[in-house]
Every structure is written in structure tokens, then in C-alpha cells.
Amino acid sequence: MTNASTRLHILHEQPDWDLIVVGGGITGAGILREAARRGLRALLVEQGDFASGTSSRSSQMVHGGLRYLLSADIGLTRASVHERQRLLREAPGLVQSCGYLFPHRRRHKPGPRSMRTLLRIYDAFAGRRDYRFVPALELLMQAPGLDTRNLIGATRYTDAITDDARLVFRVLRAAMTDGGHAINYLRTTGLRRNRDGAIEGINVHDGLGDEELALKAPLVINATGAWADQLGGARNIRPLRGSHLVIPGWRLPVAQCITFMHPHDRRAVFVYPWQGTSIIGTTDIDHDAPLNREPAITAAETQYLLDGINHQFPGAGLTTGDIQSSWSGVRPVIGGHHDNPSRERRRHSLWVDRGLVTVSGGKLTTFRLIALDALAAGAPLLPEYARKDPGGMLFRPAPELPAELPRALRQRLVARFGDEADAALAQAEPGDLASIGPSPVLWLEVRHASRHEAVEHLDDLLLRRTRLGLLLPKGAATYLAPIMDILAREKGWSTERQQQELEVWRQRYRSSYSLPQAEATVTENPA
């Protein structure tokens, strides 16, 4: 990311660009990556922090969309599976294979035969076959505590999980290595058009330095997702909220993702392992609150998810007291306004208006394809050389790390830093390779992010550069003092600034990442 000391320096030196991308989520990052690969003078601006919208609040799944086969959307499923396989190859550790178990019960659909038919097509797209039926006794060994009533067994198949915010940063870093530029906390205040109405650029306001700037470009791509219509050009965006619960991994230990149909409405709900915790999700409801207000889980959503998981694991007896954090994200779905939000299609849409290309909708997994479509829509305004796909990998290969390091540590460094893993390791100070509490996050990640990843606020670090604010109880309260010591040293924050950041974070955690009412008291680990 752009270093704080030279944050806007490039904009004063180079006000003219071939392309400006508005929006620092996964779609915008993908567009910047593909533009940089083509040698374009490309700039990305984000009004908040990178990935601070939907792209740090997804279900963390890189999947082919098995359920899209049910609606005969074969093209989207095929494309998603191909992109999943690409990400597994190019981002090892960050994108990880994960087993998925779908329990079958007598008189409940879909049954084993239907799943087998779907997975035969699904796995064919990936050029492999690894799905199989798991008998009930074997299933109960893999998923202890699962409700045994009418249980036949389960179908097991493979998809992938990730850390969506970290995926955004890895894509942005790859773009910047190839000459792209990305700046956070730079809000677009308006479009600049000539007398004929064609795009000439944008006006921006620096949220950190209170500066106004006019930037020139013949092409602007609006990749702001659910916020797309605020800049103009988008239509029929239906914001849908998906909420998730985070519980300690020991409280409901699962080694694979278990998907089941909720007893209330027969929607698919899941529980899966994620960075030492277990995640329960997701809801899928219309989000009617203002988009400029940070989304948060409601009491009704909390109870819905608890009802679902306790129905599937009746002996767990999970309560609000077991919930250490939550997150909610707003999906930009291009709506036909179906009565059931979960049945809306997840394809992306494009709108083109005289140099403004607006893109919204789509899936995390297919971000690269969405980026290519957006660039193709703006191609007439780009130099001739930029209209050809240069090919090559999305991410550069990671370096070989010292063999004397533990294998798990090497895997963690490669997953988080990719081709910069050796450079990050070289900066480690004593104690930096230790993990923070029960989380897998290294102290090195805190130091590296504070120094190199455009952290401007404490919540940038706790929610997106790392996930400590979600992975540790009470918003990482026990570890805030040493974390703040690193930030103060690397960022030069005064004591007053530190106190301000702590207060803002505590309030944000309470209002948007804890429970809707009072903060939960997390059950102590009996081990």
C-alpha cells in the first residue's frame, strides 16, 4: 500500500491517469490488478479502508456455487469452479481446500442421489472426482454431536475457504508491484465531465488530511458494490445482509464445513472452522438500513443462527454467552426482487455511460472474471496495447523459506505475504514469530501491517490486516496494550491519539461486531 508519508504524493505528481477505479473491495482490487498487468497508469481510490465494505464480511468461501446448478446456471458454476482451482494453485494457504459435509435425513430433500447427480457435474468442471457418500456411523466420527434422528449419512465434497480481506490485500499488492496505485480514505465526491457529458475524471476528498483534489482520466470504473448507485450508473441493486457468529473452536469443534437446512425455512446454513474458531452463518435478508451505517447482526438473526445450529447439534446447547464476536456484510445483488432473497441470482451486471463503467453484483470467487468484463466494457477508451490479455499468473510464486522454520509457520507466512514472505520474515524482531493468544495470527503480522500496509486506524489492523478483533474474546481486549505499543512505535501516534483509537475501536466492536444488546460474556475454556 502507499506509504503514509507519501500517501498523496503520487496524485500531485501525476494528476492524469489512463483509468481510475473507485472502490477498494475485491472487485476494485481485481480491476486494478488486471489494469496494472496491461501497463496502464491505473489508480484505485477507496473512501474508507481497503476491504472495509462487503469484502471483509463475506462467508469466507471460495466456492463454485453448487446451489447454482439447482437453478441451471451452469455457466456461472463452471466459471466459479475454474477460478477456485486457479486460486488454490496460485494462493496456497490463503485459499485452502476444505471438506464439506451435507447430512441426509429420511424424508428430507435433497437426498444422496440428487447430490450425487449435481456433484458429478460439479467435479467434472474441476477435472476430478472426490465426492462420496459417508455412512452415518462414519459421519458421527467426523462430526461428533450431530443430531442422529432420521440420519442416513452425508455427502462429502470439496470446496475452499479463505480470509477475504487478506485476499484483497494480496491482489492489491500484486497490482502495485506491476505499477498500480491504491489509496485508502480518499472519498470520491463527484464525477468530472466535459461539455458533451463524457467522463474527464473525478473529484476526491482526503479523509485524513482534509484536502480536495481533481483527478483526470478518460475512464472511471465504479466498483463500489452495494454503494454503486451513489456514484451513478447502477440500477436494481438489492442490498442483502448476511450475518455470522464467531464462537471459540473448542466450544463446537468442527474439522470440515457442515452444511444443513435450517428447520425454520429450509435455507442452507453452515458451520466451519476458521482461524481457530468456528463460524456459524449465514442469514440472507433485505438490508433496509442506510448504507453509510456499519451493518450489524440483529437479535432476530442471532437467534435464527443459534436455533439452526442447536437443532443440528442438540447437545451443544450454544447460547449468546458462547458468542465472542459477529460480523455482517451487505451483498450487492442485482435483483429481480424475488420474494425469497436467497433465490436471487449472483451474477454481476455492467452499466456503461460515456466513460463511466459501473459494475456490481457477482461472487468473491469470480472477481478476476468480473474485472476482465469491466475492463472490456471500457476498452474503447484505453490504449490499444491494453486491450490484450497479457496472460500469466494472478500472484507471483512465493519464495522458499528456511527449512529450519516449522512447517506450519512457513505455511502461515506464505499464506499471508505470498511473494513477499521472505522480506517480511527478514524484518522480524524477537518474539515476532509467536502467535497472539489462541489465534494463529503472528506478532510479525501486526508489525508488518503497521509498517507497510497503510494502517490508518486501529480497526484497520484488528478487522482487516489481521482478524484479531474477531478471533479473540471481547475485541482482543487482553492484547490491545502490546498491539498499541507496536502501532505507536511504527506510526508515531501520541498518547492522545492512542486513547482516541482505543475508544473508537471499543465502541465499534460493541455496536457492530459483538451482540445486538450487551456484550457477551465468553465461556472460559475448560481445558
Q: What is the CATH number of the domain that holds 489?
A: 1.10.8.870
Q: Residue for cell digits 457418500?
A: 133
Q: What is the mean pLDDT of residues 131-137?
A: 96
Say which residues have a Cβ less than 8 Å from residue 518's Cβ, sequence separation at least 6: none
Residue 148 backbone phi and psi in degrees, to 5: -90, -5
pLDDT more than 90, % of the chain: 85
232 vs 361: CA distance, rounded Å? 15
Residue 260 pairs in a beta bridge with 269
Of 346 and 380, more confident? 380
Rg (CA), the chain: 23
Which domain range does residue 125 map to?
95-161+238-331
pLDDT confidence of residue 517:
61
pLDDT confidence of residue 234:
66
- Kindly report, residue by residue over 311-330, the tens digit of the pLDDT: 999 999 999 999 999 999 99
pLDDT confidence of residue 3:
44
Q: Mean pLDDT across the chain, nearest whole number?
A: 93
Number of independent structural domains in the chain: 3
Helix (H, G, I), strand (E, B) or coil at 499: helix
CATH number of the domain at 272, please. Answer: 3.30.9.10
Does residue 263 sit in the same domain as residue 327? yes
**309 pLDDT higher than 80:** yes
pLDDT confidence of residue 236:
80
Does residue 187 sit in the same domain as residue 265? no
- Kindly report, residue by residue over 357-404, the tens digit of the pLDDT: 999 999 999 999 999 999 999 999 999 888 888 888 999 999 999 999
pLDDT band at 524 (very low <50, low <70, confident <90, very high): very low
Does residue 23 sit in the same domain as residue 47? yes
pLDDT band at 339 (very low <50, low <70, confident <90, very high): low
Q: Is residue 521 part of a domain?
A: no
**345 pLDDT higher than 80:** no
- Kindly report, residue by residue over 434-465, the tens digit of the pLDDT: 999 999 999 999 999 999 999 999 999 999 99
Residue 330 contacts residue 287 (beta carbons within 8 Å): yes
What is the model's pTM? 0.94
Helical (H) or strand (E) element with 319? none
Does residue 135 sit in the same domain as residue 254? yes
- Kindly report, residue by residue over 69-89, the tens digit of the pLDDT: 877 788 889 999 999 999 999
Q: Report the Cα–Cα distance between both ends of the chain, in Å, rounded.
A: 41
**256 pLDDT higher than 50:** yes
Does residue 324 sit in the same domain as residue 308? yes
Estimate the share of the chain in helix, then strand, then coil, as percent rounded to the nearest 5. 40, 25, 40
How distant, in Å, are the alpha carbons of 138, 166, 272, 521 from that of 253? 17, 24, 9, 19
Q: What is the mean pLDDT of residues 220-234?
A: 88
Give all strands of the β-sheet with 212-216 in edge-to-edge order.
Answer: 186-193, 199-206, 212-216
- Kindly report, residue by residue over 296-307, the tens digit of the pLDDT: 999 999 999 999
Residue 486 backbone phi and psi in degrees, to 5: -65, -45
Residue 462 contacts residue 499 (beta carbons within 8 Å): no
456 vs 461: CA distance, rounded Å? 8
Tell me the DSSP string of 47-104.
Answer: SSSTT-SGGGSS--EE---HHHHHTT-HHHHHHHHHHHHHHHHHSBTTBEEEEEEEEE
Burial 177-201 (b: 16+ CB within 10 A, else e): ebebbbbbbbebeebbeeeeeebeb
